Amino acid sequence: MPNWCENVVRVHADTAEELEMFTSHVASKDNPFSFTGHAFSVELRGGEVSFEIDDTVAEYNFDTAWGPPEEFYNHFVKTFPYHQINWYYHEPNTLMAGYLGEKSTND
């Protein structure tokens, strides 16, 4: 049984139109980088992602097996360089937490 990692992703854009570019990219069924895709062999707990979208901010919450999906983060930062992407992760069973793009709290 895997250690489950909680992920909270907040995406900030300058305009609602810019945020729509990101949210449509994530939601695309043809996009292997989508949260529901398996291009990086990422296992989602229950395959579920909860999200909330408000004008220029989107927040996604989901659990992944064994750690945060760094490949998703790297892809999003590269694909959307003008968006602010804050990706917090927390593995309660291993006492590991931090933000992708920064050192973990255990470093």
Alpha-helical segments (H) within 10-95? 16-27, 70-79
107: confidence class by pLDDT, cuts 50, 70, 90: very low
Amino acid found at 44: L
Q: Residue 13: is it exposed, middle or buried by C-beta count within 10 angstroms (0-12/13-18/19+)?
A: buried
**Arithmetic mean of pLDDT, 72-77:** 87
Domain extents in the chain? 4-99
State the average pLDDT for the chain: 82
Closest C-alpha among 91, 94, 24 to residue 63: 91
Cβ 97 vs Cβ 43: under 8 Å: no
Residue 84 and residue 12 in contact, taking contact as beta carbons nearer than 8 Å: yes
Yes or no: is domain 4-99 CATH 3.10.310.10? no
Q: Which two tokens stand for residue 14?
A: 């300058």
